[in-house]
Structure 1
Amino acid sequence: MEGTRPCAERFMLVGPERVFYAGLLGRPRKRTLGSFILFCSMEGRLELSVTGEPAVTLEAAVLPAYREHSIQSEHRCVIGVLIEPESVDPASLARLEAAARAMDQAELAGRLRAAYRRLRAMPLKHRLSTAAFDAEALGEPLVPRRVDPRIARVLGVLGERPGDPLSAQDCAALTRLSVSRFLHLFKQETGHSFRALRAWKRARHLLNYANETINMAHLALDIGYPDSTHFSHSIRRFYGLQPRAIFSGSRELEIFRSGEAAGP
């Protein structure tokens, strides 16, 4: 389904709790993003295959975090809004998902494309807070999740220093909890296991470097992987692409980084 028409201006806005991506899709195999995602093709339709379900052709799609799937697009470029689920009140995220699924696909695709045009023209997009990002990309801010301060501290470390060799034992000591109690509380407060979320934060950190010329082995170590093999396997599992394919397709991608998260 992939077309040959060139992409318009390609950019990615990366914040601690949100990502807006407008760029090449490539040819991903099965992928399992750790973010809740809304996406559409830059033009035309997508073919979406969710593991365990029949393939469908549609204008726009919504998927929960950690849902294995693969996509193809009629256009070379796609638009995606990635939302870190542990940053959003579960009821607020459920309402967003329900509203997106109930919406006409063409309308949802039109809204995502309109958000792309607005953000593309915005000179200081990297200064957007999470709430301002939501207003631009989704129409209104999502309600932040209230998290136990001990778990919030761990989430802060995972987000700011994903390359640190942070184990469950380390986090239990940081929170002054037993390991079993910490793991239980972490999943209760975030909706996901510590191991799964830690792995995703490391893979997500790659996005900050995707358009740079960089040594892959050094990058793997910098973002917390013991070697290039583990790095390649993890990135392929989350994104459906080898790291080199991601970097190759991102050479002309402009990346804007923002650092202000939503308050509790």
Structure 2
Amino acid sequence: MRIVGRGRIVLWEGASLWAFDVPPAPDGQASTRLHAHHAIQITLSAGGRFCIRTGDGRMDGPVVVIAPDVPHAFEPEGKVALLFVEPESRAGQALMQGMAGALVAKLDARLGHAPTKLADLWIDAQSDDGVVEALGRSLVQEAVGEVLPASTLDLRIARTLDWLTSRISEGVGLAEAAAIACLSESRFSHLFAAEVGLPFRTYLLWRRLMLAVERISAGTSLTVAAHEAGFADSAHFSRTFHRMFGIPAASLQLI
């Protein structure tokens, strides 16, 4: 799928908002490849339409939420937006609790008004990133639908995640992370996977991917962004992005 048009990507701690306009496909319905990523994905119509396909069937908009690491394909047309929420964040934990084990669910009742709010992203394409971030934060809060609960993450893992935030692009190793958590490497690996839902190295790769996306959305070239985020080269970043999002990384430069 080729993402083009007047779009935005804005990231903040624990979440991001991606908005884009997908023209009708000349040979039928545009679709990503089947893919999976670590974030909770809230897909919203912004005047366009979309369908989410999983191994269990399909679900149409206007608002659909997908649990982390669920293989899915995305079939959009027109103006659509994606809210990605880190499952370890307080909002992410609340969303997961609300899904009650479902892999895919509708959120129309809570975010049915979203198309009107999101339309402003195309009406005022030059709006400040802070305005777009505020919109994204408000949509996440409305999706949660309640006061955010206290974090349920193990404090040792929470401390490690905070420590990682400023070191994502560095050569962070398992031994260093385990030391921050005051655990042996084997115990840390087991606890991290149980709390976060991913092995440590896979999570680190996801965070590096998001850092590269942030750099590209700010105007950095794909090659430089990949290097700054700690990837071996742009090819490694491109392969990782394609596997997790189902579209070419070069599409980011068209938004």
Normalising by the residue count of structure 1, what TM-score does the alignment of the two structures yield?
0.74
Q: Which SS does the other structure have where 1:210 is aligned?
A: helix
In 2: Cα distance, 1:74 partner to 1:132 partner = 24
Q: Specify which of 104, 111, 114 is matched with residue 112 of structure 1.
A: 114
Partner residue in 2 for 1:60: 63
Matching of residues 25-44 of structure 1 within 5 Å: 28-44=32-48
Contact 1:35/1:65 (<8 A) preserved: yes
Distance 1:127 1:42 in 2: 16
Looking at structure 1, the residues matched to 232 and 93 of structure 2 have their Cα atoms a distance apart, in angstroms, of: 37
Aligned equivalent of 1:96? 98
Residue aligning to 1:237: 243
Instruction: Show CA shifts across 1:125-163 (max 9, x none).
Output: 377599766436655443242333332232123333321
Secondary structure of 1:155's partner? Answer: helix
1:50-81 deviations in Å (ceiling 9; x for gaps): 1x233444433210011121111131x31122
Distance 1:192 1:156, change over 3 A: same
Partner of 2:157: 151
The answer to whether the aligner puts 1:79 opposite 2:76 as a matched pair is no
Out of 160, 164, 170, which is 1:164 matched to? Answer: 170
Compute the displacement of 1:207 (Å): 2.6
Maintained 8 Å contact 1:22/1:79: yes
Query: RCO higher in 1 or 2 (8 Å CA, sep ≥ 6)?
Result: 1
Give the count of matched residue pairs: 242
Query: Which consecutive aligned stretches of 4+ in structure 1 deviate over 6 angstroms post-superposition?
Result: 118-123
Structure 1 counterpart SS, 2:163: helix
* Distance verdict in 2 for CA 1:13–1:91, change over 3 Å: closer
- After superposition, residues 83-232 of structure 1 pair within 5 angstroms as 83-88=85-90, 92-97=94-99, 101=105, 105=108, 107=109, 110-116=112-118, 124-125=130-131, 134-135=140-141, 138-232=144-238
Runs of at least 5 residues in structure 2 that lack an aligned partner in the other structure: 23-29
| 2:27 aligned residue | none
Unaligned runs of 5+ in 1: 251-264
State the distance in 2 between where 1:39 and 1:29 align.
Answer: 16
1:259 corresponding residue in structure 2 = none
After superposition, the Cα gap between the structure-2 partners of 1:141 and 1:162, relative to the gap in structure 1 and judged at 3 Å, is farther
8 Å contact 1:169–1:179 — kept in the other structure? yes
Kept after mapping to 2: 8 A contact 1:115/1:136: no
Change (3 A) 1:95 1:202: same
SS of 1:165's equivalent? Answer: coil
TM-score calculated relative to the size of structure 2: 0.76
Q: 1:157 to 1:23 in 2, by over 3 A?
A: farther
CA contact 2:40–2:92 (8 Å) conserved in 1 = no
Residues 79 and 112 in structure 1, CA contact (< 8 A), matched pair in contact too: no
In the TM superposition, residue 90 of structure 1 has moved relative to its aligned partner by 7.5
CA-atom RMSD in angstroms: 3.6
Change in Cα spacing, 1:68 to 1:89, as seen in structure 2 (3 Å) is same
One-letter code aligned to 1:31: H
Among 8, 16, 20, which residue is 1:19 paired with?
Answer: 16
Question: Match of 1:79, SS?
Answer: strand
1:70 aligned partner: 73
Shift of 1:102: 6.0
